[in-house]
Amino acid sequence: MPMNPSELRELLEERYLIYNQPSFIEADPVSVPHLFSEKGDIEISGFLSALIAWGQRKTIVQNAFRLMDMMDREPLRFVLEASEEELARLDRFVHRTCNGTDMRALVLSLRRVYSEMGGLEAVFSMGMQPGDPTVYHGIVQARAALVSRPGFPGRTRKHLADPSSGSSAKRINMFLRWMVRSDRRGVDFGIWNRIQPSQLICPLDVHTGNVARHLGLLRRSPNDWKAAIELTERLRELCPEDPVKYDFSLFGMGVFEGQGSGNS
110 in a structural domain: yes
What confidence tier does 122 reach under pLDDT thresholds 50, 70, 90?
very high
pLDDT at 261: 64
Identify each DSSP E strand in the chain by its residue range: 94-95, 98-99
Instruction: Compute the average pLDDT of residues 237-252.
Output: 97
DSSP type of residue 133: S
Pairwise CA distance, residues 89 & 196, whole Å: 37
Pairwise CA distance, residues 53 & 169, whole Å: 12
Name the residue type at position 74. Answer: E
Residue 34 has pLDDT above 90, yes or no: yes
260 in a structural domain: no
Domain membership of residue 190 as a residue range: 5-255
261 in a structural domain: no
pLDDT at 2: 62
Instruction: Compute the average pLDDT of residues 98-109.
Output: 98
262 in a structural domain: no
Does pTM surpass 0.85? Answer: yes
